[in-house]
């Protein structure tokens, strides 16, 4: 029992030190300029940004009715408006965690007519 308690105590010593640190995701907002199988180029207000698409990337489409629904990569097209929540990687690339988009047609339909 004493041996077990000692092992437990020193295991906790090894784990001591809980400090909150800052991590973040970046938002890439714009329209799809170019599409590849594993990356997209987004035309933003400040230039083009490449974002990698990975197996864990989730896709959400916002329709003309403004309702968010699950989507897939095949639903995403050049010209669509996107908001991508991306994780910065050590090699300075961005990896998409979530791609939220509205199709060009849906965006046009939601605009008030003159």
Residues of this chain that bind other proteins (CB under 8 A) = 3-4, 6-8, 10-30, 42, 44-47, 49, 56, 58, 60, 62, 66, 68-70, 81, 83, 85, 87, 97, 100-102, 107-108, 110-111
Residue with Cβ nearer other proteins (53 or 85): 85
Residue 4 Cβ, how far from other proteins at the closest point, in Å? Answer: 7
Token pair 């035309």 is found at 43
How far from the centroid of its chain's Cα atoms is residue 48's Cα? Answer: 17
For other proteins, give the closer residue by CB, 37 or 70: 70
Q: Are 34 and 41 in contact (CB under 8 A)?
A: yes
Q: Could you give the CA distance from residue 19 to residue 104 in angstroms, rounded to a whole number?
A: 45
């Amino acid at each position: 029992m004493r041996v077990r308690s000692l092992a437990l105590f020193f295991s906790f010593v090894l784990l001591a030190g809980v400090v909150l640190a800052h991590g973040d995701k970046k938002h890439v907002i714009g329209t799809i300029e170019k599409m590849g199988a594993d990356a997209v180029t987004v035309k933003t207000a400040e230039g083009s940004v490449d974002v990698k698409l990975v197996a864990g990337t989730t896709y959400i489409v916002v329709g003309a009715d403004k309702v968010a629904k699950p989507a897939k990569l095949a639903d995403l097209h050049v010209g669509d408006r996107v908001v991508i929540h991306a994780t910065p990687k050590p090699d300075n690339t961005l990896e998409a965690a979530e791609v939220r988009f509205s199709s060009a047609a849906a965006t046009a339909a939601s605009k008030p007519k003159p």
